[in-house]
Amino acid sequence: MTIIEQIIAKHSGQQTVKPGDILDVIIDTRAARDFGGANVVKNLIDNGLTVENPQKTIFTFDCNPGGSDQKYAANQHYCRQFARENGIRVYDVDAGIGTHLAIDNGLTWPGSTFVSTDSHANIMGAIAAFGQGMGDQDIAAAWAKGAVWFKVPASVKINLTGKRPANLTAKDIVLNLLSIFGANKLLGYSVEIYGEETEKFTLAERITIASMGTEMGAIIVLFPTSPALLGELKLITGNDYDAVTAGPDAKYEQTFDIDLGKFVTMVAKPGHPHDDTSIETVRNQKIDSGFIGSCTNGRMEDLRAAASVLKGRKVAPGVVLKIVPATDAIWTQAMDEGIIQTFKEAGVMVSNAGCAGCAAGQVGQNGPGEVTISTGNRNFEGKQGKGFVYLASPAVVAASAVAGFITTPDQIPDQPTLFHATGKPAMSQVRPDKKEKTEKPTTVEGAVWIIAKDDIDTDMIFHNRYLTITDIREMGQYTFDNLKGFEDFARKAKPGDIVITRKNFGAGSSRQQAVDCFLSLGISCILAESYGAIYERNAINAALPILTYKPDVLLQADIHDGDRIKVDFISGEMTNLANGKSVQLDKFYNAQLAIYQNGGLL
C-alpha cells in the first residue's frame, strides 16, 4: 500500500484499503483553533454531544494571539471555558502555530492521524503522518466520536531526480512544483515525494513543501521518513519513532520524474500561489513591506536564513519588515542565539508566535496598493490584506527588505532604493469636487430619544472594534451598539431624531467616529447636561449641533420618549410640540455658530 493507504488501514481496523473506500478513521489528535473553535464547541453543545477523549483533544490559539480582535477574544474565552469544564488542553496565545506545536510536542508522529480547523493541517505529511484540515462539523464529530469518515484518495508519486542547485531553498522547490502542477493537476490526490536529495531534506524544509500541498489542490504531500528525519524528531520530542514508507508494490495512479537540478529561485506573483516565475522576471520590483513567518516558513532555519542576510544591515527606509516565529520555543531559541537582536538592530518588527498575516492575525496585513513580499503560503487577493503579495523564501524576503526592491541575497546594492515623491497624491488624499456651501438650518424639529444615563463613553457610542472605518456612510449602523438597552438604536433611529442624555456625554477617547456616526444617521442635534471635553470640540468642529441644558429643564417641558420637540440653536429655546411647553437651553456661542454655518471646521 501507499503511505496514505497504510495509515488509513491501520486507523480503521482494515488489513488493506484501496482508493475510493470510505471508512471511519480513528484520529489520534483532534484540534480546533481560535478560528473555528467556538463553532466546534457550539456544534457539540447544540447537538448534546460530549468529548470522547479529552486527552486526545486540544485547542490551539494561533490565528490571533492576544485576542486583539474582539471577536477572536470572545471566541478564545468561550473555548477556554469549555476546556476548563472538560479537561481539554489549551495551547494558548503564548504558544504558537498549532500544527507545529503538534509535531514538536509529539502530539503527532510518523504514521499517526491529526485533524484541525486549519486547511494546512496536511503539513503532517512532512513527517509521514496523515493530517487534514476540516470544517467545524467534521471536527465536532471527531471530538465526539474519536473518528471521522474519510474516502481513501488515489496516490501519485513524484521522483525528484538530479542534484539540488546551490542556494535553492525549500520554498523555491515548492514554487517550482506549483509552476509545474498548478492549482488543480494534483487535486484530490495524496502525493508522495521521493528522491536521493529529498532524503537530506530537514524537517523545516519538508514542512515548507508539505504545507503548500493545499495550494496545489492535493489532499496531502507526504515524505517517507529518513534516518535523518527520525533523528531530528528524537532531538525535538525525545521520542523514538518507526520508519514509515510505501510498500514495494504500492500502486500509484501516476508517477512523475522531475529534474530537481533544473529548479531555479522563484517567486509567486500577486493573486495566485501557482502563478510562479523566475525571480529574474520581477527583480527590482519596488516593495513597501516584507513578512517572514506563517506555518510555511516560521521555523528556526527560516529565521537563521533571514538573520544571515540582515546581520549588519538595515531595512530600507520606508520599508516595513515583520517577522513572526512559528512557536514560542522557536522565538526563545532565536533570542538565545542572538537572532532577535539581529532583527531589532536591522529595524525589524518582531511579534509573538502565531500565524500572523495569513489569518488576518496580529501582524502582517497590508493596505490598499501596498506591495508586500511574503513567505506565506497564499497570496490570494485580500488574503493578507488589500495590497499585492509576492511569495518567496525567507532569504529573498530579507534581501528585498534591505534593498527596497525584490532581489536575492547575492545582489543587495550598497545603497537601498528610496521612495520618491511622484507628484500624484495617494488615493486617500484625492480631494473630491469642492462642495457648494448650503445654508444650514438654525431650528430643527424631531422625535426624542431619552437616554437617561450619565458618563456615556465613546466606546458605548462607537466601539473601538469599528475604528478602522473611515467612510462616514458606514458608521451610522454601529451607533450605540455597545450601550446596554440601546443596541438597536441605529436600526430604529430616523433622520431628524434628537438625542437627549445627561452628564458627561462622550467621555473617553478622542475618536471622531463617535460624533460622525450621528451625522451618518442624520440625527439633527444632541442635548446633554454636559459633554466630555474632547467630544464637545469634535462635535462642534464636525458641525453636529450639540447644546447643554440645566438639570430641571426636562421636567419643566414634561418631555417623554418619542415626543417631538423644536430646538432653536441661536435663541436656545426648546419647545415640546406635544404640549406646547417651552424652556431655555444654553444657546450656540459665536464660535460654535460660525463653525456650524461653515459646515464644519475644515
Domain CATH number, residue 395:
3.30.499.10
- Whole-angstrom CA distances from 536 to 24, 448, 599 are 64, 20, 16
In a domain, 431, yes or no: no
Query: Percentage of the chain with pLDDT > 90?
Result: 84
Q: Among residues 262, 283, 307, which one ends one of the domains?
A: 262
Q: Is the predicted pLDDT of residue 53 greater than 90, yes or no?
A: yes
Confidence at 389, pLDDT banded by 50, 70, 90 = very high
Confidence at 423, pLDDT banded by 50, 70, 90 = confident
In a domain, 493, yes or no: yes
Q: Which domain holds residue 328?
A: 266-411
Q: At what angle do helices 533-541 and 513-521 cross, to 10 degrees?
A: 40
Q: Among residues 242, 262, 282, which one ends one of the domains?
A: 262
**Helix%, strand%, coil% for the chain, nearest 5:** 35, 20, 45
CATH number at residue 528: 3.20.19.10
In this structure, the answer to whether residues 97 and 171 fall within a common structural domain is yes
In this structure, the answer to whether residues 190 and 221 fall within a common structural domain is yes
For cell 517517507, the residue is: 224
Which residues lie across from 160 on neighbouring strands? 258
Full DSSP string of 410-473:
GG--SSPPPP---SS--GGGPPPPPPPP-PPPSEEEEEEEE---S--BHHHHS-GGGTT---HH
- Whole-angstrom CA distances from 363 to 17, 181, 292, 330, 381 are 44, 31, 11, 18, 17
Distance CA 71, CA 275 (A): 34
Residue 26 C-alpha cell reads as 480513528
pLDDT averaged over the chain? 93
In a domain, 489, yes or no: yes
Q: Which of 401, 413, 327 is nearest to 371 (CA)?
A: 401
In this structure, the answer to whether residues 16 and 131 fall within a common structural domain is yes
Report the chain's terminal Cα–Cα distance, integer Å.
74
* pLDDT at residue 138, rounded to an integer: 92
In this structure, the answer to whether residues 239 and 271 fall within a common structural domain is no
Taking residues 312-327, report their average pLDDT.
97
Integer-rounded Cα radius of gyration of the chain: 30
Phi, psi angles (nearest 5°) of residue 477: -65, -15
Confidence at 426, pLDDT banded by 50, 70, 90 = low
Q: In what order do the strands lie in the sheet with 254-259?
A: 220-222, 190-194, 155-161, 254-259
* pLDDT at residue 8, rounded to an integer: 98
Distance CA 266, CA 163 (A): 18
In a domain, 14, yes or no: yes
Distance CA 211, CA 297 (A): 9
Residue 63 C-alpha cell reads as 490565528
In this structure, the answer to whether residues 192 and 286 fall within a common structural domain is no
Residues 198-251: tens digit of each pLDDT:
999 999 999 999 999 989 999 999 999 999 999 999 999 999 999 999 999 999
CA 526 to chain centre: 38
Range name among 35-39, 91-95, 590-594 with the lowest pLDDT average: 35-39
Distance CA 221, CA 211 (A): 8
Q: Among residues 358, 387, 411, which one ends one of the domains?
A: 411
In a domain, 423, yes or no: no
Cβ atoms of residues 197 and 175 within 8 Å: no
In a domain, 230, yes or no: yes
Distance CA 508, CA 370 (A): 33
In this structure, the answer to whether residues 513 and 391 fall within a common structural domain is no
Confidence at 67, pLDDT banded by 50, 70, 90 = low
In this structure, the answer to whether residues 462 and 559 fall within a common structural domain is yes
3-class DSSP assignment, residue 91: strand
In a domain, 238, yes or no: yes
In this structure, the answer to whether residues 481 and 570 fall within a common structural domain is yes
Distance CA 1, CA 24 (A): 18
Burial 16-41 (b: 16+ CB within 10 A, else e): ebebeeebebbbbbbbbbbbbbbbbb
In this structure, the answer to whether residues 282 and 228 fall within a common structural domain is no
Q: According to DSSP H, which parts of 483-546 are helical? A: 489-492, 513-521, 533-541
In this structure, the answer to whether residues 246 and 329 fall within a common structural domain is no
In this structure, the answer to whether residues 323 and 293 fall within a common structural domain is yes
* pLDDT at residue 432, rounded to an integer: 56
Residue 477 C-alpha cell reads as 449602523
Predicted TM-score (pTM) of this structure:
0.82
Structural domains of the chain, count:
3
Q: Who's near 298: CB < 8 A, 6+ residues apart?
A: 97, 100, 292, 324, 325, 326, 327, 330, 353, 375
In this structure, the answer to whether residues 237 and 296 fall within a common structural domain is no
In a domain, 361, yes or no: yes
Cβ atoms of residues 31 and 156 within 8 Å: no
